[in-house]
Amino acid sequence: MKKRLLVALVIIFTMVFSVQAGFAASSNIEELPNIKILATGGTIAGSAASSTQMTGYKAGAIGIQVLIDAVPQMKEYANVSGEQVCKISSNNMTDEIWLQIGKRVNELLADKNVDGIVITHGTDTLEETAYFLNLVVKSDKPVVIVGAMRPATAISADGPVNLLNAVRLAASKEAIGKGVLIAMNDEINGARDATKTNTTHVSTFKAPELGYLGYINNGKPYFYRESTRKHTNQSEFDIKNLKELPVVEIVYGRAGENRVIVDAIAASGAKGIIYAGTGNGSIHNAAEAGLIEAQKKDLVIVRTSRTGNGTVINSLPKWDDEHFLKGDSLSPHKARILLSLALTKTNDLNEIQRMFNEY
């Protein structure tokens, strides 16, 4: 009799425990953050003929569902779903795709069922897309951009772990309100200051002067710093109704320069020129004459530096007298994005300089 009672108790206990465990498991799935992955191509989706081929592969060949299926561990941390935006090598990125991604990110983040976004991207222009989104996303929810330096088919491919880390970062409370983030090689970088520093190494993204924002250890993000410059929810730029971006070109300052490129740009209908100057944004005499004329045709001129470090501040007073603006510490290619967005709002030079001081 005692034995039967014991067996009955064990059965009841087992049933109650399994129901509870089942309930816990299903509520756990419901409680996981919902992360949307927007895929654009790049080496993270790259395919090569052999596992030892690290260069010369086809970027963007593999679709998002295959990338998601290759990292089932993501399901432990988030409900993940993917959308294929395009399948390009990011050296071919366009303004149209930027506008498409920016609008889609804003649409998704306005949905209360979406907690964060991951964007898979080629590394060549990853920092540009990151900074563009940093200026146009209207949400505090995490947006994380991720790429890889080795194709998906390579031995020791870095894509899968980078993707897992990116999803965990996008699903984390720590990433909220930090602006658009870059997650690669166990490091967290901010969109404004990070740049690709090496052609092939997996440790390519760095903010050489200002440093990483934090690290990802065992998949968990640890932040040490954040950018004080305006971004996402604090940003005044709105792409909702934009169909194209004002054209801004870059001129690379050099010894022996002439004004051929400046003149060609001025004649092209562009609205602005970023001058990637020598040193502290210094301009060659020959190009300077062309820039002064370009400005008379209403092009906005911004001085930046080709050195990759430091801020462009007062140099020769004549460049301020000519109303050439100063690009602060932005790289020429990020200054190009800010000037283009600034020109969607105003042509007032003081206003545009204010934006360069704030973003």
* Choices 89-97, 102-110, 218-226, 228-236 (CB under 6 A): range interacting with ligand ASP: 89-97
Contacting residues for 18 by C-beta, under 8 A, at least 6 apart: none
Among 118, 130, 146, 149, binds ligand ASP (CB under 6 A): 149
Contact status: 122 vs ligand ASP (CB under 6 A): yes
Can you tell me whether residue 1 is helix, strand or coil?
A: coil
Question: Shortest distance, CB of residue 37 to ligand ASP, whole angstroms?
Answer: 16
- Output 91 or 347, the one with its CB closest to ligand ASP: 91
Contact status: 163 vs ligand ASP (CB under 6 A): no
Contact status: 89 vs ligand ASP (CB under 6 A): yes
Within 10 A of 194 (CB to CB), how many other CB atoms are there? 29
Contact at 8 Å (CB) between 99 and 239?
Answer: yes
Contact status: 147 vs ligand ASP (CB under 6 A): yes
Among 67, 80, 90, 158, binds ligand ASP (CB under 6 A): 90
Contact status: 91 vs ligand ASP (CB under 6 A): yes
- What the block records as the tokens of 219 is 């998949």
Question: Shortest distance, CB of residue 45 to ligand ASP, whole angstroms?
Answer: 9
Contact status: 129 vs ligand ASP (CB under 6 A): no
43 assigned to active site: yes
Contacts to ligand ASP from residues 9-48, by CB under 6 A: 42-43
- C-alpha 215, offset from chain centre: 17
Number of residues in contact with ligand ASP, rule: CB under 6 A?
11
Per annotation, catalytic residue among 14, 40, 43, 228: 43
- What the block records as the tokens of 184 is 């690669």
* Choices 121-129, 135-143, 208-216, 333-341 (CB under 6 A): range interacting with ligand ASP: 121-129
Residue type, 320: D
Among 37, 78, 105, 123, binds ligand ASP (CB under 6 A): 123
Question: Shortest distance, CB of residue 125 to ligand ASP, whole angstroms?
Answer: 6
Among 124, 158, 288, 328, binds ligand ASP (CB under 6 A): 124
Contact status: 59 vs ligand ASP (CB under 6 A): yes
Residue type, 126: L
Can you tell me whether residue 100 is helix, strand or coil?
A: helix
Contact status: 182 vs ligand ASP (CB under 6 A): no
Q: Give the ranges where 92-158 is alpha helix by DSSP (H).
A: 95-109, 126-136
Contact status: 151 vs ligand ASP (CB under 6 A): no
Tell me which residue has its CB nearest to ligand ASP: 122
* Choices 86-94, 170-178, 259-267, 288-296 (CB under 6 A): range interacting with ligand ASP: 86-94
* Choices 25-33, 120-128, 252-260, 296-304 (CB under 6 A): range interacting with ligand ASP: 120-128
Strands (E), the chain: 34-41, 79-88, 116-120, 143-146, 181-184, 187-190, 195-196, 205-206, 214-217, 220-223, 248-252, 272-277, 300-305, 325-326
Contact status: 281 vs ligand ASP (CB under 6 A): no
* Residue 71 Rama label (left phi>0; alpha psi -120 to 50; beta): beta
Within 10 A of 219 (CB to CB), how many other CB atoms are there? 16
Write the DSSP assignment of 300-344 as a string of letters: EEEEEETTSSS-B----HHHHHTT-EE-BT--HHHHHHHHHHHTT
Return the C-alpha torsion angle 241, 244, 245, 251, nearest 10.
180
**Which residues contribute to the site for ligand ASP (CB under 6 A)?**
42-43, 59, 89-91, 122-124, 147, 149
Residues forming the active site: 43
